[in-house]
Amino acid sequence: MFSEASIKYSFVGDASRCLGDCAPQTTSPNKNAGADAMASVIAHEATEAATDPKGDAWYDANGDENADKCAWTFGSSSTLASGAKYNMTLGARKFYIQRNWVNASGGYCSKSY
């Protein structure tokens, strides 16, 4: 039996084409500034797809979705010898991922709840 499904997606282009505007830093913790910038944007878009899948759910008085409230903020970070910042380690890789809005306790930007 066939049933309709709604698939949520976003397009995240090649950030290496616009590092000055699309990346938080041009020195990459993984030696690929474009891919590292894309990882941060994908995290941002994935949380919005989960919390506001139709674009009509959660937003604040300014029209910002939850991830927009914290866009391009990164919280505490460490710096590698290359000068690249990172705030998250997944396996052997380090990433500089922007924070998202947590609505609990009056609201705040964070990488976790």
pLDDT of the chain along its 113 residues, tens only? 666 777 777 778 788 888 888 888 989 999 999 999 999 989 888 888 888 888 788 788 898 888 899 999 999 999 999 999 999 999 999 999 999 998 889 899 998 87
Would you kindly state where each structural domain of the chain is located, as residue ranges?
15-107
Q: Counting every residue, how long is the chain?
A: 113
Residue 79 to residue 53: CA distance in whole angstroms: 35
Task: Give the pLDDT of residue 35.
Answer: 92
Q: Among 80, 78, 72, which Cα is nearest to 97's?
A: 72
Residue 94 to residue 35: CA distance in whole angstroms: 12
Task: Give the pLDDT of residue 2.
Answer: 65
What is the chain's Cα-based Rg? 16
- Give the helix, strand, coil percentages of the chain, each rounded to 5: 30, 15, 55
Can you list the alpha helix ranges (DSSP code H) found in the chain?
19-22, 33-51
